[in-house]
Structure 1
Amino acid sequence: MASENAEEDDYMSDKFLETCVNVRPGLVSKATSRQYQLEKNAQIANKQNKLKLKKQSEKVVREDGLNVKIGQDNKGFALLAKMGYKPGMTLGKEGQGRAEPISISVKNNREGLGMDSERKLKQEEMSQMRAEMRHKRQKVYHQEQSGFTKRMSEKFNQREVEKDLDDSQKVCEELDAKANIEEPEEWFFWPLHWLEKKYAKDEDEESKEPPEPVMDIYTPPEKLELLTDYLRNNYSYCIWCGIKFKGVKDLWNNCPGSSRSDHD
């Protein structure tokens, strides 16, 4: 009997804790919280509907009031009638004023009275600024396009000069070799591989001093011009005609000129 009472009074057992009700303050069940949220949402929706109905009714009353003309029993109309005003007339001494009352513009926001005009002014300024920026961009674009065309033309001309110089160097080396010339008159009259061979030969000879560095003081067009004069004066050869003339007289009579543009 004592053991049964002890077992019933075991407050730490799971069975005893399951029968207890949670009455701690500040805690609500999920169902209660959900019900509270639904009621709150319903109250908010009800307020919004009332506000919407109020605005609609105000709009209807306002439009009805604006559509009704001022009657002759109105004090303002009576004062105008004493000064000679009749329905349909325009205001002003010479009839230059308004014939209809000033229309009402309802504000739908809490901004100041001058905000609309200021906003329109800013929008016009922004539109003018965008137009000016668009004009500047178009101007810069056309300048870049013309500059790009010029750069491409210069680049193409540079490639043509480099190609003509390379061809002239090969021809000069071949013609000088037939004339038993061991070194070119100018270091750039032949392709650069002859310099590599010369330096390698000098390195093999111990008694030789190190070769001096080549000073490149000419631009490619200047090199081409000097080499062209050398070929024409010494061999009566034109790189653009691609032939060796019989002599200087034959060259001057039958060759169009000493540049690529003369042969176009």
Structure 2
Amino acid sequence: MAENEEDDYMGDLSHFLPPGASSLPSKRASNKPEVPNKKRKVFNWHERKKLKREQKQIEEDQNTLVNLESAIPESNIGFKMLKQMGYTPGSALGKEGSGRSEPVGLEIRRGRAGIGKEDDKVEKMRKEMEKAKRDRRTEEELMETFGSHLKERWKDKRIVSNFHKADAVLAQLENREVVTEKKEEEDVGKDEEEEEEEPITEEITSQDKTTQTENENTIEEIIKAMNLLCAKVENMDKELQQIKSQQHDYKNAELSRSEDLKIPELQGDVGEDNVIPVVQLE
């Protein structure tokens, strides 16, 4: 049965296709170059000519600059004439040798600007360099001002701490209660100062000037208070020394008085020698 059955000619269509037809589309697809999304810029004939001329000028300028840097060889006719006129290589011009020792530098100008005006590229580079220098200078100035502000704040804090210490010493001498500030408030104040950091500006504003004057006034007041405290401490020391001297004199007076003072014990019958017994007080 299987040998007598005919093949199904509709089942496989590859018999009806040519042998190389199935592989052609894939080859064509692979041979096609990938077209980029962006279109290439097409230069005009005049533009291409202009670009070639600019490139040629740049190469010529580079070659001329390289040749200018190299010295003139001794085989040159002009150099030989200079030698005959008395010129020695490496020496300056003139009888006394006070003239020019190197040739005049040449500057190649391809632009259409007049004398005294720089090329656009050179001018742009010069402006960028000047701007970088200005930025560096301003940064250094800002760092100096920031450091000076930090030093002033540190000095103010140190003066305030010394003031509190002196006030505590004076309170101990005067038997006063020392009022101690809460540490929590100080910590909160420090946190607020850290949070309220202001950006550094190039110019000092009017608020900075007013705060600076206020700080100077507070420093002067603190210095005056410190001087008053020092004067009070000196007066207290003098008073203590006077009190000590008075106590010493009083003790000496009591000792001398006790030695001079003599009280009889009892007035009884007087003996033959008429001697009254006495007792010395200590």
Q: TM-score, normalising length from structure 1?
A: 0.35
Which of 1 and 2 has greater Rg?
2
